[in-house]
């Protein structure tokens, strides 16, 4: 039996529904299902994303579309960029026909990207492909954070927040805050205090096998935990968020595995937005 495909797009992005119709017409004879809300916009019957029985999910939008999709469904991702940068996408809208032909022919490789699993006290948060951020909920109000690596206190810091990033996230929010860029083949985690009071505070890079915990002391006010810029939870004073490597990596359909070429292209594009 052949591969089973799913299709989802961001309707708020210009051209996304047009690209979706193009993809669907090219794959109509294949086993393809459309996410329920997207299907309604296309005049078709769809299925809820969580219930979709698929091997590959075709996403049309930007990186945010991919991140939101992975929070709900674990499947191989084939990203079509209809957004601004699309670090995680594989092809542009002008390449849809050629890209779908290669996909259906099996002419691709699978790239695995590590993710982070986290528990906020007894609450399981979605796995993060980019980063988990703990930050103050008040503008210009620092908090004290205690950062533990493998249950050992590594750092006490006053800052606006703390970013715990994967290699994938090192080219996202963490990069804006001063993180080194990590090759996605490197299995490591970046711990990056956000706007620390002491200028001597620098990022940590620790093995992916490490456990990272951030404690917000009882004397502090509440903070917010944000996963991949998508999911937000309140973190009360005196609580701990525990972060480890997820048991499930994200998987991407790739035609080109040249990370550095893509990175250069996207960074150049980012300078002209």
Q: Which of 53, 63, 160, 222 is catalytic?
A: 63
63 catalytic? Reply is yes
Per residue, the 3-state secondary structure of the chain, as one string, reads: CCCCEEEEECCCCCCHHHHHHHHHHHHCCCCEEEEHHHHHHCCCCCECHHHCCCCEEEEEECHHHHHHHHHHCCCEEEEEECCCCCCCCCEEHHHHHHHHHHHHHCCCEEEEECCEEEEECCEEEEEECCEEEEEECCCCCCEEEEEEECCEEEEEEEECEEEEECCHHHHCHHHHCCCCCCCCCCCEEEEEEECCCCCCCCCEEEECCCCEEEECCCCCCCEEEEECCCEEEEECCCCEEEEEECCCCEEEEECCCCHHHHHHHHHHHHCCC
Q: Which residues carry out catalysis?
A: 63
């Amino acid at each position: 039996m052949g591969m089973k495909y799913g299709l989802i797009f961001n309707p708020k992005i210009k051209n996304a529904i047009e690209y979706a119709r193009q993809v669907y017409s090219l794959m109509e004879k294949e086993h393809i299902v459309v996410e329920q809300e997207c299907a309604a916009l296309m005049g078709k019957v769809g299925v809820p994303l969580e219930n979709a029985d698929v091997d590959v999910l075709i996403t049309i939008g930007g990186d945010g579309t991919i991140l939101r999709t992975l929070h709900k469904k674990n499947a191989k991702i084939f990203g079509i960029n209809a957004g601004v940068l699309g670090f995680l996408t594989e092809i542009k809208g002008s390449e849809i026909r050629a890209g779908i032909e290669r996909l259906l022919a099996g002419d691709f490789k699978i790239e695995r990207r590590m993710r982070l699993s986290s528990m906020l006290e007894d609450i399981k948060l979605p796995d993060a492909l980019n980063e988990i951020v703990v930050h103050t909920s008040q503008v210009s109000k620092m908090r004290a954070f205690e950062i533990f690596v493998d249950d050992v206190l590594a750092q006490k810091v006053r800052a606006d927040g703390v970013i715990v990033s994967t290699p994938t996230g090192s080219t996202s929010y963490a990069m804006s805050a001063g993180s080194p860029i990590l090759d996605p083949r490197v299995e490591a985690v970046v711990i990056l205090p956000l706007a620390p009071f002491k200028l001597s505070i620098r990022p940590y890079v620790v093995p992916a096998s490490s456990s990272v915990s951030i404690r917000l002391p009882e004397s502090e006010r509440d903070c917010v935990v944000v996963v991949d810029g998508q999911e937000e939870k309140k973190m009360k004073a005196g609580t701990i968020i525990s972060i480890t490597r997820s048991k499930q990596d994200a998987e991407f359909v790739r035609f080109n595995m040249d990370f550095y070429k893509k990175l250069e292209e996207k960074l150049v594009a980012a300078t002209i937005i």
